[in-house]
Amino acid sequence: MKTNIAEKNMPASFDLHKTAAEHGMKPDEVALMVKTLGRDPSLCELGIFSAMWSEHCSYKSSKVWLRKLPTTGDIVICGPGENAGVIDIGLGPNGEKLAAIFKIESHNHPSFIEPYQGAATGVGGILRDVFTMGARPIANLNALRYGDIKHPKTKQLLAGTVAGIGGYGNCMGIPTVAGEVNFHPSYNGNCLVNAMTVGVANQDKIFYAKAAGVGNPVCYVGSKTGRDGIKGASMSSAEFNDNAESQRPTVQVGDPFTEKLLLEACLELMATDAIVAIQDMGAAGLTSSSVEMASKGGLGMELILDDVPQRETGMNAYEMMISESQERMLMILKPGREAQAEAVFKKWDLDCVVIGKLTDTGRLVVKHKGNVEADIVVEPLVENAPQYNRPWEPTPKQAEVNAADYPLQGTLGAALETLLACPDLCSRRWIYEQYDCQVGADTIATGGDAGVVRLHGSKRGLAMTVDCTPRYCFADPVEGGKQAVAETWRNLTAVGAKPLAITDNMNFGNPEKPRIMGQFAGCVEGIAAACNALTYPVISGNVSLYNETKGEGILPTPVIGGVGMVEDVSKIARINAAREGDVVLLVGETKGHIGQSLYLRELHGKEIGTAPTVDLNAEKKNGDFVRALINAETVPCCHDVADGGLLVALADICLASNVGIALEQAENSAAYWFGEDQGRYIITIRAHQYNEQAIFDAAEKAGVEIEFLGFMSGQDIKLDDKPIASLATLRKAHEGTLPALMES
Amino acid sequence: MQASILVFPGSNCDRDVAIAFEKASGKKPAMIWHGDSTLPKSDIIVVPGGFSYGDYLRTGAMAAHSPIMGEVIAAAKKGVRVLGICNGFQILCETQLLPGVLLRNKTLKFICKTTTLKVENNDSIFTKAYKKGENGNYFADAETLKQLDGNGQVALRYTENPNGSANDIAGIFNKDRTILGLMPHPERANDSVLGSTDGAGMFKSIVENL
Do A352 and A341 contact (CB within 8 A), yes or no?
A: yes
For B23-45, what is the mean pLDDT?
94
The Cα angle at residue B66 between residues B65 and B72, in degrees rounded to 5: 90
Model confidence band, residue B119 (pLDDT cutoffs 50, 70, 90): confident
Task: Using an 8 Å CB-CB cutoff, list chain B residues near A437.
Answer: 112
How large is the angle between the packed helices A256-270 and A338-347, nearest 10 degrees? 140
Q: Is the dihedral angle over the CA atoms A440, A444, A448, A450 positive or is it negative? A: negative
Which of B51, B191, B194 minimises the CB distance to A171?
B51
Contact B111 A434 (CB under 8 A): yes
Q: Residue B55: what pLDDT?
A: 84
Task: Using an 8 Å CB-CB cutoff, list chain A residues near B21.
Answer: none
Contact A438 B13 (CB under 8 A): no
Give the whole-angstrom CA distance, residue B203 versus residue A319: 53
**Selected residue of A177, A434, A438, A495 to mutate for chain B interface (largest B Cβ count, 10 A):** A438
Q: Which residue type does A283 have?
A: A
Q: Residue A250: what pLDDT?
A: 67
> What distance in Å separates residue B68's CA from the closest CA in chain A?
15
Dump the DSSP string for A142-193.
EEEEES-TTSTTHHHHHHHHHHHHHHHHHHHT--EEEEEEEE-GGGTT--EE
Task: Using an 8 Å CB-CB cutoff, list chain A residues near B107.
Answer: none
SS3 A512: coil
> What distance in Å separates residue B125's CA from the closest CA in chain A?
24
Task: Using an 8 Å CB-CB cutoff, list chain A residues near B50.
Answer: 173
> What distance in Å separates residue B133's CA from the closest CA in chain A?
10
- Nearest C-alpha in B relative to A349: B9
Give the whole-angstrom CA distance, residue A699 versus residue A588: 10
Give the whole-angstrom CA distance, residue B68 versus residue A24: 53
How large is the angle between the packed helices A646-657 and A412-421, nearest 10 degrees? 70
- Nearest C-alpha in B relative to A574: B195
B93 is catalytic: no
Asked whether residue B22 carries a pLDDT value surpassing 70, the answer given is: yes
Model confidence band, residue B136 (pLDDT cutoffs 50, 70, 90): low
| A256 close to B (CB below 8 A) | yes
> What distance in Å separates residue B65's CA from the closest CA in chain A?
16
Task: Using an 8 Å CB-CB cutoff, list chain B residues near A163.
Answer: 109
Of A512, A528, A553, A523, nearest in space to A192 by CA = A553
The Cα angle at residue A612 between residues A607 and A617, in degrees rounded to 5: 165
Q: Is the dihedral angle over the CA atoms B85, B86, B91, B92 positive or is it negative? A: positive
Q: Which residue type does A551 have?
A: G
Contact B15 A436 (CB under 8 A): no
For the whole model, what pTM was predicted?
0.95
A35-51 exposure pattern, b = at least 16 Cβ within 10 A, e = fewer: ebbeebbbbbbbbbbbb
| A112 close to B (CB below 8 A) | no
Q: Residue A3: what pLDDT?
A: 44
Chain B residues bordering chain A (beta-carbon distance below 8 Å): 9-10, 12-13, 15-16, 19-20, 35, 49-51, 53-56, 109-113, 134, 185, 187-188, 190-191, 193-194
- What are the start-end ranges of the H helices in A252-314? 256-270, 285-297
A107 is catalytic: yes
| A576 close to B (CB below 8 A) | no
Task: Using an 8 Å CB-CB cutoff, list chain B residues near A435.
Answer: 110, 112
| A257 close to B (CB below 8 A) | yes
Contact B193 A569 (CB under 8 A): yes
| A437 close to B (CB below 8 A) | yes
Q: Residue B209: what pLDDT?
A: 87
State the DSSP code for A615: -
Question: Which of A17, A23, A107, A688 is the catalytic position?
Answer: A107
Which of A167, A434, A444 minimises the CB distance to B193?
A444
The residues of chain A scoring below 50 in pLDDT are 1-3
Contact B54 A167 (CB under 8 A): no
Do B42 and B80 contact (CB within 8 A), yes or no?
A: yes
Contact B191 A441 (CB under 8 A): yes
ipTM of the complex: 0.90
Task: Using an 8 Å CB-CB cutoff, list chain B residues near A255.
Answer: 54
| A234 close to B (CB below 8 A) | no
Residue A392: which residues within 8 A CB-CB, separation 6 or more? A514, A517, A518, A520, A521
Of B132, B191, B202, B188, nearest in space to A438 by CA = B188
Q: Residue A231: what pLDDT?
A: 67
Q: Residue A5: what pLDDT?
A: 64
Extended beta strands in A433-582, E state: 443-445, 451-454, 461-467, 498-507, 538-544, 548-549, 552-553, 557-566
Of A238, A228, A229, A225, nearest in space to A22 by CA = A238
Of A529, A542, A538, A469, nearest in space to A499 by CA = A538
> What distance in Å separates residue A464's CA from the closest CA in chain B?
17
Model confidence band, residue B133 (pLDDT cutoffs 50, 70, 90): very low
- CB interface of A with B, residues 391-430, below 8 Å: none
Question: Which of B34, B86, B93, B112 is the catalytic position?
Answer: B86
> What distance in Å separates residue B149's CA from the closest CA in chain A?
31
Q: Residue A403: what pLDDT?
A: 94
Contact B188 A441 (CB under 8 A): yes
Task: Using an 8 Å CB-CB cutoff, list chain A residues near B35.
Answer: 347
| A172 close to B (CB below 8 A) | yes
Q: Residue A665: what pLDDT?
A: 82
For B68-97, what is the mean pLDDT?
94
| CA B13 vs CA A442, A684, B51, B59: distances in Å | 12, 37, 9, 15
> What distance in Å separates residue B78's CA from the closest CA in chain A?
31
**Selected residue of A431, A436, A570 to mutate for chain B interface (largest B Cβ count, 10 A):** A436
Burial class (CB in 10 A: 0-12, 13-18, 19+), A23: buried
SS3 A89: strand
| CA A322 vs CA A21, A231, A246, A303, B190: distances in Å | 16, 7, 19, 14, 47
- Nearest C-alpha in B relative to A445: B194
Q: Residue A249: what pLDDT?
A: 62
Q: Which residue type does B111 have?
A: I
Contact A166 B110 (CB under 8 A): yes
Give the whole-angstrom CA distance, residue B107 versus residue B163: 7
CB atoms within 10 A of CB A334: 17
Taking one residue from A and the other from B, the number of pairs with CB-CB distance under 8 angstroms is 78
Task: Using an 8 Å CB-CB cutoff, list chain A residues near B190.
Answer: 441
Give the whole-angstrom CA distance, residue B32 versus residue B46: 10
Which of B13, B55, B190 minimises the CB distance to A439?
B13
> What distance in Å separates residue B173's CA from the closest CA in chain A?
25
| A519 close to B (CB below 8 A) | no
Give the whole-angstrom CA distance, residue A645 versus residue A553: 28
Of A294, A280, A284, nearest in space to A50 by CA = A284
| A159 close to B (CB below 8 A) | no
| A272 close to B (CB below 8 A) | no
Residue A498: which residues within 8 A CB-CB, separation 6 or more? A492, A564, A565, A566, A567, A627
Q: Residue B131: what pLDDT?
A: 45
Give the whole-angstrom CA distance, residue B34 versus residue B12: 13
Question: Which of A23, A56, A184, A368 is the catalytic position?
Answer: A56
- Nearest C-alpha in A relative to B33: A347
| A166 close to B (CB below 8 A) | yes
Task: Using an 8 Å CB-CB cutoff, list chain A residues near B49.
Answer: 439
Asked whether residue B45 carries a pLDDT value surpassing 90, the answer given is: yes
Task: Using an 8 Å CB-CB cutoff, list chain B residues near A167.
Answer: 110
Model confidence band, residue B134 (pLDDT cutoffs 50, 70, 90): very low
- What are the start-end ranges of the H helices in A187-312? 232-235, 256-270, 285-297
